[in-house]
Amino acid sequence: MILGTGIDLVEVDRIASSFARFAAKEAVSKAFGTGIGTGLGWHDIEVVRKPSGEPCILMHGPGERLLVERGATRLHLSLTHTAAHAAAVAILEG
């Protein structure tokens, strides 16, 4: 069952080298319906890559607790970018 979805689009020039990580964290916070703030912070969401190269999310601290509270079993992440824009989609599955 899908518990939440989130998407984010950023202008690459605006945030330089961290564009894909920024968009991913924003999309995850939107999938939880919280946004980035007091309940879910930047450091609670980590973007990593599997050996295959697939991006994935690790949740820490309050983020990990939120994942458990929501009854989520998986958090899916997809990233894409062009020279001008980067986008991320997150799906919270339970």
Q: Could you give the strand order of the β-sheet that contains 85-93, starting from the edge strand earlier in sequence? A: 2-11, 85-93, 74-81
In three-state secondary structure terms, 7 is: strand
81 noted as active-site residue: yes
Alpha helices in 10-57 (DSSP H): 12-15, 19-32
Asked if residue 32 lies in contact with residue 57, where contact means CB atoms within 8 angstroms, the answer is no
30 noted as active-site residue: yes
Residue from 25, 50, 76, 81 carrying the catalytic annotation: 81
Give me the active site residues, please: 30, 81
